[in-house]
Amino acid sequence: MSGSPTHPLYDVIIVGTGAGGAPLACHLAEAGQRVLLLEAGRSWRADQYPDNEQDASLRLMWGGGLEPSKDGALALLRAKVAGGGTVVNQALLDRFDEDAFEAWRQQSGLAEHSSQHFQRYYQLTESALALESIARSDWNENARLYVEGFEQLGYGWSPLRRGQAHCNVADGNDCVRCLGGCPRQAKQSMTVTFLPRALAAGAVMEANCEIAGLVEGGQGVTVYGRQGGRNVTFHGRRCVLAAGALGSTALLLKSGYGSQLPALGHHFYCHPQFVSLALYDRNIDAHKGSFQAVKSEEPRFRAAGFKLENVFAGPLGVAFLLPQIGARHQQVMQRFRQLACIEVAVRDVTPGRISLDRRGRISVDKPLAAPELTRAKAGRQVIHDIYRQTGAEEVIDSPTNIGLHLMGGCVMGTDPRRSVVDVGFRVHGSRRVHVVDGSVFPNAPGINPSLTIMAMAHQAAEALLGQTLSLPTLVTERAS
């Protein structure tokens, strides 16, 4: 396979520009590789991000914001934008604990799944990011209520570590705006960290390019899809799928890898989120300022398979979450400023499956089984206790269950019968196709996955290059 002026040959084609694809492109390009990034979504300037919830959901997410699981038990959230999920998440960047890695080792059989092995990769990744905890002076009332309840009930908590810089909450900036992309370039999404570095080092990005499949040959890989209403093809010596659990798994299935990979599409996990709101007799303004600042740091919760987070959403999001209808729904929404919100995030243990339907569309079979429901119930009981302890008038449990942090489908392991990629992120039986994103997670860690995916990207770069890399602290000036 050779290139031509119209069809250049890249060293590596990377499908996806999120927490896996963008850092990998950065490390490879800075090492001298010729890299092509393909992104199904649009590439936005910071000042172009939608300024309202409806447009953000429609324009930055797959499925207009929600993709239901097969039985409708979960509403799955998946970004479709340059920068991937890092553009629309809350930028919580935690390292995995040894409990998470032990569960991985049991599933994968890989000794490399350990805190000690990941230590260096975490350090290298963190050196390229601005990391902050929200000062108590910048907490909003929702966070204060959360901590007050925790302390009165004897539960442990700690500040969240977020990827952000100069949010300037004291000047009136509201973090809820960043759920649709951060207009201040404060959030440490891929669009302000690794992606600009990759492009500055010579990587090429093609946005609005939805990939349909790939063909692997003896000397390279051809990737094909649609861009701007026309068919397109790209050629590379290697291809790395970094399109997330659903995207990467679907591309391998569409490309015929299911016949040689019995585990492809299996072992799908997420972190199911169960939201509980409460009404108070005063304004809480949970949508203002740093609305997600603290987290549970309670060993009893970790052992029970859940964590609690203080969260919120804009009016459309809250209206969607409320169970009431008609006049009662309107009455609650009229008291929007008096609502508080806490969610229980469950560490998923029941595996699901990603497949394709008859039309080639992604289908996710992910039931909420007894373990998840038991964990959610235990977490919600704590939330109810917190609300009662802090004087809430009424507690409202949302019936809508959100599936965040989509993981698995292309799990990593030693056994090709039970896994899809090896320790070097290469698809079993393939010479030129790799996967680097949350789809390689062997199971659910119960911890936000973004930082670990970025750390894995550094590991993958070393595996692809066959050499150890050092990551500069910063080679580009941060936007101000």
* CA nearest to 310, candidates 90, 476, 124: 90
Statement to judge: residues 104 and 206 lie in one domain: yes
pLDDT tens string 259-316: 999 999 999 999 999 999 999 999 999 999 887 889 999 999 999 999 999 899 999 9
Statement to judge: residues 275 and 257 lie in one domain: no
Global pTM reads 0.95
Task: Look up residue 410 and give its amino acid.
Answer: C
Statement to judge: residues 275 and 249 lie in one domain: no
Answer whether 140's CB lies under 8 Å from 291's CB. yes
Residue partners of 118: CB distance under 8 A and separation at least 6: 95, 96, 101, 452, 455
pLDDT class of 476 with cuts at 50, 70, 90: very low
CATH number for 397: 3.30.410
Domain membership of residue 297 (yes or no) is yes
Domain membership of residue 135 (yes or no) is yes
Answer whether 411's CB lies under 8 Å from 262's CB. no
> Could you tell me whether strands 9-15 and 230-241 are parallel, antiparallel, or unpaired per DSSP bridges?
parallel
pLDDT tens string 328-367: 999 999 999 999 999 999 999 999 999 999 999 999 999 9
Statement to judge: residues 325 and 403 lie in one domain: yes
What pLDDT, on a 0 to 100 scale, did the predictor assign at position 65?
84
Residue 383, pLDDT above cutoff 80: yes
Statement to judge: residues 290 and 396 lie in one domain: yes
Statement to judge: residues 137 and 229 lie in one domain: no
Statement to judge: residues 423 and 334 lie in one domain: no
Statement to judge: residues 285 and 361 lie in one domain: yes
Residue partners of 475: CB distance under 8 A and separation at least 6: 30, 197, 200
Statement to judge: residues 146 and 173 lie in one domain: yes
Domain membership of residue 1 (yes or no) is no
In the block, tokens 């609305």 appear at: 291
Residue 478, pLDDT above cutoff 70: no
- Grouping H, G, I as helix, E, B as strand and the rest as coil, residue 340 is strand
Residue 170, pLDDT above cutoff 90: no
pLDDT tens string 425-441: 999 999 999 999 999 99
Which of the listed residues 363, 388, 407 is the one where a domain comes to its end?
407
Domain that residue 340 falls in: 63-75+131-180+270-407
Answer whether 351's CB lies under 8 Å from 267's CB. yes
Statement to judge: residues 110 and 236 lie in one domain: yes
Answer whether 307's CB lies under 8 Å from 383's CB. no
Statement to judge: residues 108 and 243 lie in one domain: yes
Q: Which two tokens stand for residue 203?
A: 């990587």
Residue 473, pLDDT above cutoff 90: no
* Upper half-sphere CA count for residue 82 (Cβ side, 13 Å): 23
**Enclosing H/E stretch for 231:** strand 230-241
Which of the listed residues 407, 422, 445 is the one where a domain comes to its end?
407
Average pLDDT, the chain: 93
DSSP at 84: G
Residue partners of 210: CB distance under 8 A and separation at least 6: 40, 225, 226, 227
What pLDDT, on a 0 to 100 scale, did the predictor assign at position 2?
53
* CA nearest to 474, candidates 185, 161, 124, 120: 124
Residue 8, pLDDT above cutoff 90: no
Domain membership of residue 87 (yes or no) is no
Domain membership of residue 459 (yes or no) is yes
Statement to judge: residues 142 and 168 lie in one domain: yes
Q: What is the per-residue burial (b if ≥16 Cβ within 10 Å, else e) of 80-116? A: bbbbbbbbbbbbbbbbbeeebbebbeebbbbeebeee
Domain membership of residue 144 (yes or no) is yes
In the block, tokens 């994103």 appear at: 437
End-to-end CA gap in the chain:
44
pLDDT tens string 92-133: 999 999 999 999 999 999 999 999 999 999 999 999 999 999
